[in-house]
């Protein structure tokens, strides 16, 4: 299978793992450092949604390495980007009540964070696949 077909499979698997298989509770809590189980579950979901299609459709010899690298980097990116967003919200709200009542869906920077997060995930997939397949 050529590089671009593998890339398409990994982008589709990323969409499934990051959006379709991520419940709201997991999305909210994956950046909570006091509850790492949510980030670990999400990282496992990303790994399994990358690994299964690589094995099933491509029988790629480096499927385990590719999927594990993507999943681990995905977890790091999610943890950093969403903790960064939480810090920015904390700095823009004055009181604890304002922070807990903050409506993220009305915040422009929430959508900027999503965009940056997805860009980093996409670049990670491209980088890992290129370096494992070609390098």
CB contact burial 69-105 (16+ within 10 A = b; e otherwise): bbbebbbebbbebbeebbeebeeeeeeeeeeeebeee
Please count the structural domains in the chain.
1
Question: What percent of the chain lies above the pLDDT cut of 70?
Answer: 98
Q: How far apart are CA 64 and CA 128, in angstroms?
A: 12
Count of Cβ atoms closer than 10 Å to residue 10 Cβ: 23
Q: Are 100 and 121 in contact, with CB atoms under 8 Å apart? A: no
Residue ranges making up the domain that contains 120 = 3-133
pLDDT digits 0-9 by tens, 90-133: 888 878 888 888 888 899 999 999 999 999 999 999 999 999 87
d(CA 60, CA 3): 11
* C-alpha span between 114 and 56 (Å, rounded): 30
């Amino acid at each position: 299978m050529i590089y671009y077909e593998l890339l398409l499979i990994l982008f589709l698997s990323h969409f499934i793992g990051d959006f379709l298989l991520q419940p709201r509770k997991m999305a909210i809590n994956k950046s909570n450092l006091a509850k790492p189980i949510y980030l670990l579950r999400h990282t496992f979901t990303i790994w399994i949604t990358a690994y299964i299609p690589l094995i099933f459709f491509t029988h790629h010899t480096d499927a385990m390495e590719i999927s594990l690298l993507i999943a681990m980097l995905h977890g790091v990116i999610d943890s950093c980007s969403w903790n960064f967003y939480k810090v920015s919200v904390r700095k823009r709200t004055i009181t604890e009540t304002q922070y807990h009542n903050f409506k993220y869906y009305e915040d422009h920077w929430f959508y900027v964070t999503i965009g940056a997060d997805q860009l980093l995930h996409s670049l990670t997939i491209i980088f890992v696949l290129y370096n494992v397949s070609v390098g």
